[in-house]
Every structure is written in C-alpha cells, then in structure tokens.
Amino acid sequence: MNTPNPGTSAAPDTAEYLRNPPEFSLVVGGPLFQMLSRAHMWGEARDLQAKRMLAAVALTWLPLFLLAALGGELWGGEAEVPFLKEVAIHVRFLVAVPLLIAAEIVVHRRMRLIVTQFLDRKLIPDDALERFEAAVDAALRLRNSVAAEVLLIVIVYVVGYMISSTMGVAAAGWRSTGQGLTAAGFWYVFVSLPVFQFLLLRWYFRVFIWIRFLWQVSSIRLNLVPTHPDRLGGLAFLTGTLEGFVPLAVAQGALLAGLIADRIFHLGATLLQFKIEIGVAVVFVICLLIAPLLLFSPQLAEAKRKGRREYGTLAQRYVREFDEKWLRGGAPVDEPLMGSGDIQSLADLGNSYEVVRTMRVIPVTRDSVVMLAVATLLPVAPLLLTMMPLEELLKKALALVF
C-alpha cells in the first residue's frame, strides 16, 4: 500500500480503509470460534450466550456431579471433602466459567469500534495510516492463530496436569483414592479442568493481544488535541474499554474466593490470613487491565506541555491587544463596549486554556480503578460472614453510610 504524501489525496486502498475500517475484536476469531459458529452457538443474542454457558456447565460440572453421586462421594462417603462441600469446584465451573464466556460479548461490544474511533477522530496522521493498519492486521492475525490455541491446549494438558493436584483442599477425596483417580477425578483432570484452564489462559492471551496492539499504536505520533473537552486529547474512548473487562475481574475474584472458602471451611483458616493474597489479586487485575493504557501517557504529557505553551502565547497576545484596545484608548469612539464580541472571545479563550491546563496525562479515571477493584473484591465479600454475623455486618455497613 502506498502511503499518501501530506497535502495530497489518499491512495485508493487507503481511502477504502478509511471508509470501511474493520471491526476490532479480541473474540470473533480462532478455531474454537469457528467451531461455535458452525454449530450455530455464536452470536450476541442472549439465548445464544446462555446456550454457550449452559453447554460449558454441562461439559465441566454436570458430569462431575453425576459421577460423584454414582461413586457415593456426593455429600458423604469416605472422601475427606465430598464433592458438594468443595466450594472451589462449584465456583470454578458454575461461576467463573460462565463469566469467562459472558465477558466475550461484553468485551466485543466495547472494542468493535476502536479502529473507527481512531480514524474518525483523525488521531492517526496520514503518513502513519499504513503503520496503524499493520498494527490492526497483526492483532487480528494473532487472534485467529491456530498455532496459538494449539499451544494453549498443550500448556493446559502438560503444565495443568502437573499442578492439578494442588488445586484442592484434600489429596484424597471424590477425585482420587489410594488406588488412583476415580471416575469423577478422571473427568475432572482430563476434561473439566483443562476446559476451565483453556478459557482462562485464552483470556490472558487476548489481553496480551490488546496490550501489544496498544503498544504499537502508542508508538505512532498521534494527532492529540489538548483542547478536547474529554481532557485526554481525544483518547477518552479508550478508558471506556475497561468496563468490558468487569466480568473478567469478577471471575478472577470468584476463583480466589472459592479457594479461600475451602480453606476456611475445611482447614480452619480465617479470612484475615488471606489479606495479602486478596490485595495482590486486586493489584494484579488493576495493573493487567489499566497499565496498557499508560502507554499513551508520554504523548499526553507532551501534548499538554505543547498546548500550555502555544495557548499561553496565544492568550498573552490576545489579552495584550484587548488591554490596549479597551483600557488604553485603542477602541474606536463609536464602538460600544456593551455587546462586544471581544469579551466573549476572551472568556472562550480562558475556557480553552483551562481545558488545556486541566488535561490529564493518565488516561484512567479514579472511578475506573475503583470499578475494577470492587469487581474483583465482590465475590470475596460474602466471606465476611465467616468473621461476623450478617446482622452485625449490616450494622457496621449502615454506620459507615449514615
């Protein structure tokens, strides 16, 4: 593709790209997506989304329930921790897995117009359109990579199998006996757990694609406008993508809550013993999702410095002329002060300079940080009932509000 020269019309292929930019999605691609599409199980409709969630639960949790029941390890039996009493299992397959699937549609809707936003706002200079197009194409190719999903499956079955024994609260139970894996344990190790790990690792891989894309775009010298009312030079739309990752944050918190719950109920631990782990989980989620946006901070800081310098010079020139005209006798005798557009222009210039002065160099709001932190902590909140009765907990909560 030929890069258009500044001041000339765009090349035909570039013009077509500008007219019909591709949808940017971290979700609609890859072998598994193709399989779901052929099976008529992919779509944004709620019934199709519910169908995918139910199918995942039917594949991961339901066989474990039935096999544990047949083995007499559903509620009692010889297991140290029977199937129905192992909280992490139910959280993992009844909460986290559906959330990981639900996050696909949410993220897809939040990101599908990312490319359009960059182009419609003319943030990409004409001489960098080829680089921007290459960054988009690279992200979509990586998303569609067969090799990447095959590698994830290999990691799940090689590495995941080695650590599967550490993901429960008891070595012996409904999953295994002294003679080896039970029928439920076999399904858990070779079907349920790999499905869950694949879905989770694939989300980490998608976040990696997102980070890589933002890094490539941030290396382009963007046409940021320091007077843009969003006080981010026109990049505020990127902050909105964080809302799409809320289900992923909740899923991460649910996984941690399930593991902690088992250790509280079956090993005699207390919630306060896990305050470091909870804090690390919150920081991990926030850094994973917010840090990529900080790649644009250097350009935002530069745009702000340049804007303050240029608009400061413009303001100095205008106020000097205003002073000479209206205070030093420079205005014509027959020109009335009342109704003069000069005063309104002075106010408008002051407002513009204030926007530049308050321009943010970090494209993340405090509300976004709080949103992700609360989403991660929300599944852990019910465990507070292990520390105090619900009535006392409600009293303390109401005391904070009132």
Percentage, residues of the chain above pLDDT 90: 53
The reported pLDDT for the residue numbered 177 is 73
Q: Are 162 and 186 members of one domain?
A: yes
Q: Are 216 and 312 members of one domain?
A: no
CB 364 within 8 A of CB 293: yes
- Cα-Cα-Cα-Cα torsion 372, 111, 287, 52, nearest 10 degrees, comes to 70
Q: Are 86 and 186 members of one domain?
A: yes
Q: What does each C-alpha distance from 277 to 99, 257, 285 come to in angstroms?
A: 21, 10, 12
Exposed / middle / buried, residue 62 (Cβ in 10 Å: 0-12, 13-18, 19+): middle
Single-letter residue type at 395: K
Q: Are 232 and 216 members of one domain?
A: yes
**303, pLDDT greater than 90:** yes
Q: What's the half-sphere exposure (Cβ side, CA atoms, 13 Å) at 148?
A: 19
Q: What does each C-alpha distance from 305 to 150, 294, 301, 365, 402 come to in angstroms?
A: 47, 17, 6, 20, 44
CA torsion through residues 174, 176, 181, 182, sign: negative
pLDDT band at 352 (very low <50, low <70, confident <90, very high): confident
Q: Are 173 and 71 members of one domain?
A: yes
Q: What does the DSSP 8-state code read for residue 137?
A: H
The reported pLDDT for the residue numbered 7 is 38
Record the tokens describing residue 160, joined without a space.
């995941």
Is residue 144 domain-resident?
yes
Which tens digits make up the pLDDT trace of 150-193? 999 999 888 766 665 555 545 557 887 767 788 888 899 889 99
Q: Are 147 and 166 members of one domain?
A: yes
pTM listed for this prediction? 0.85
pLDDT band at 1 (very low <50, low <70, confident <90, very high): very low
Is residue 2 domain-resident?
no
Which 3 state secondary structure label does DSSP give 181?
strand
CB 375 within 8 A of CB 288: no
User: Can you list the positions of beta strands (E) in 173-242?
Assistant: 176-177, 180-181
- Dist. CA 114–CA 34, nearest whole Å: 23
The reported pLDDT for the residue numbered 12 is 46
Is residue 229 domain-resident?
yes
The reported pLDDT for the residue numbered 146 is 93
Q: Are 213 and 330 members of one domain?
A: no
The reported pLDDT for the residue numbered 9 is 40
Is residue 7 domain-resident?
no
How many domains does the structure of the chain reveal?
Answer: 2
Which candidate, 113, 108, 90, places its Cα nearest to that of 42?
108
Q: Are 100 and 234 members of one domain?
A: yes
Percentage, residues of the chain above pLDDT 70: 83
The reported pLDDT for the residue numbered 3 is 39
Residues with Cβ within 8 Å of 257's Cβ and at least 6 positions away in sequence, in order, are 91, 379, 380, 382, 383
Q: Are 272 and 380 members of one domain?
A: yes
Neighbours of 107 (CB within 10 A): 24
The reported pLDDT for the residue numbered 6 is 38
Is residue 75 domain-resident?
yes
Is residue 6 domain-resident?
no
Is residue 4 domain-resident?
no
The reported pLDDT for the residue numbered 226 is 92
Interval 368-376 mean pLDDT: 95
Q: What does the DSSP 8-state code read for residue 180?
A: E
Name the residue range of residue 118's domain: 12-296+365-401
Q: Are 332 and 394 members of one domain?
A: no
**269, pLDDT greater than 60:** yes
Cα angle for residues 195, 197, 198 (degrees, 5° grid): 65
Which candidate, 295, 302, 280, places its Cα nearest to that of 238?
295
CB 225 within 8 A of CB 233: yes
Residues in a beta bridge with 177: 180
Interval 323-330 mean pLDDT: 70
**302, pLDDT greater than 70:** yes
Exposed / middle / buried, residue 316 (Cβ in 10 Å: 0-12, 13-18, 19+): exposed
**Mean pLDDT rounded to a whole number for the chain:** 85
Lowest-confidence region among 7-11, 25-29, 216-220, 224-228: 7-11
Q: Are 81 and 169 members of one domain?
A: yes
**392, pLDDT greater than 80:** no
- Dist. CA 67–CA 61, nearest whole Å: 10
Q: Are 223 and 321 members of one domain?
A: no
**263, pLDDT greater than 50:** yes
Which tens digits make up the pLDDT trace of 246-261? 999 999 999 999 999 9
**371, pLDDT greater than 90:** yes
- Dist. CA 167–CA 48, nearest whole Å: 31
Q: What does the DSSP 8-state code read for residue 92?
A: I
- Dist. CA 63–CA 187, nearest whole Å: 7
**301, pLDDT greater than 60:** yes
**5, pLDDT greater than 50:** no
Which 3 state secondary structure label does DSSP give 177?
strand
The reported pLDDT for the residue numbered 163 is 63
Is residue 5 domain-resident?
no
Neighbours of 5 (CB within 10 A): 11
Which tens digits make up the pLDDT trace of 35-91? 888 887 877 777 788 899 999 999 999 999 999 898 888 887 666 778 888 999 999
